[in-house]
Homo-oligomer: A and B are copies of this chain.
Amino acid sequence: MARLYHVPLSPFCRKVRLSLAEKKIEVELVEERYWEADPDFLRRNPASKVPVIRLDGKLLTESAAICEYIEETRPTPALMPDTPEARYEVRRLIGWFDDKFHHEVTANLLYERVNKKITGQGYPDSGNIKAGAKAIKYHIDYMAWLLDRRRWLAGDMMTLADFAAAAHLSALDYISDVDWNRQSVVKDWYAKIKSRPAFRSILADQVPGFRPPPHYTDLDF
Contacts and interface: CB of A to CB of B under 8 A. Distances in A.
A46 interface: yes
A76 to B, nearest CB: 15
A117 B142 CA distance: 31
Given A47-B100, A142-B46, A91 B73 contact: no
A68 B47 contact: no
A72 interface: yes
A61 B47 CA distance: 26
A187 interface: no
Interface string A8-51: 00000000000000000000000000000000000000110100
Given A72-B84, A73-B84, A84-B73, A92 B142 contact: no
B87 A72 contact: yes
Please classify the interface of chain A as helix (H, G, I), strand (E, B), loop, or mixed, using the class held by over half of its residues. Answer: helix
Nearest to A98: B99
Interface in A67-100: 68-69, 72-73, 84-85, 87-89, 91-92, 94-96, 99-100
B65 A95 contact: yes
Interface residues of A, number: 27
Contact of A65 (B58, B73, B92): B92
B47 A69 contact: no
A177 interface: no
29 contacts: A46-B142, A47-B96, A47-B100, A49-B100, A58-B85, A60-B88, A61-B92, A62-B91, A62-B92, A62-B95, A62-B96, A62-B99, A64-B64, A64-B91, A64-B95, A65-B88, A65-B91, A65-B92, A65-B94, A65-B95, A66-B88, A68-B87, A68-B88, A68-B91, A69-B84, A69-B85, A69-B88, A72-B84, A72-B87
Interface of A: 46-47, 49, 58, 60-62, 64-66, 68-69, 72-73, 84-85, 87-89, 91-92, 94-96, 99-100, 142
